[in-house]
Amino acid sequence: MKLNRKSICALMMAFVIAILVSGCSDTRMGYVDWERVLKESPQVQSIAKAADDAYQKKSQELSAKLEKDKASMSEDDFKKDVNQARSELSAVQATYFSQMKTLRDKAMSEVAADKKLSAIVYKNQISNDQFGQAQQSENVIQGGIDVTDDVIQKLQ
């Protein structure tokens, strides 16, 4: 009786796996060249410019404040203020990065739905190696659909 239950359980697991595997054959992948989107999308460019302007303004303000206060501070207090300034600059960048990510994700999900794609990946990926140097790698899927123009269109 126990052997029979095990056999039935194994048969059911095989059946479930077969159904899942057969459903995966209709996968369609797209890819987007994000570097091109950054260069050609006015909406993305305006966010990037606003981020750069805000970062530069905040950086100048903090630098001026640190220079002014440096003479009247101890070295430890100055280091704390420098670290605080770095956190504030990171917060400025994070705000605009969040806006860009939201915009990007929305456009890519709309394109994926319009084109009936299972997923969209980035054509180019920039990462750091073990020495901190930026490296670019291509991640194009063989036979993937280039949806860069569609994403740029969504971001007009």
Angstrom distance (rounded) from CA 31 to CA 146: 5
> Domains of the chain: which residue ranges?
2-154
CATH number 3.30.910.20 given to 2-154: yes
Structure tokens at 78: 């100055």
Predicted local distance difference test score (pLDDT) of residue 1: 46
3-class SS of residue 45: helix
Q: Give the chain's residues under pLDDT 50.
A: 1, 140
pLDDT digits (tens, 9 = 90+) for 73-100: 888 888 888 888 888 888 888 898 889 8
Structure tokens at 60: 């100048």
Predicted local distance difference test score (pLDDT) of residue 119: 84
Tell me how far the alpha carbon of residue 7 is from its chain's centroid: 46
Residue type, 38: L
Q: How many CB atoms neighbour CB 41 within 10 A?
A: 22
Residue type, 129: D
Predicted local distance difference test score (pLDDT) of residue 17: 65
pTM of the model: 0.63
Residue type, 137: S
Angstrom distance (rounded) from CA 64 to CA 58: 10
Angstrom distance (rounded) from CA 1 to CA 7: 10
Predicted local distance difference test score (pLDDT) of residue 110: 92
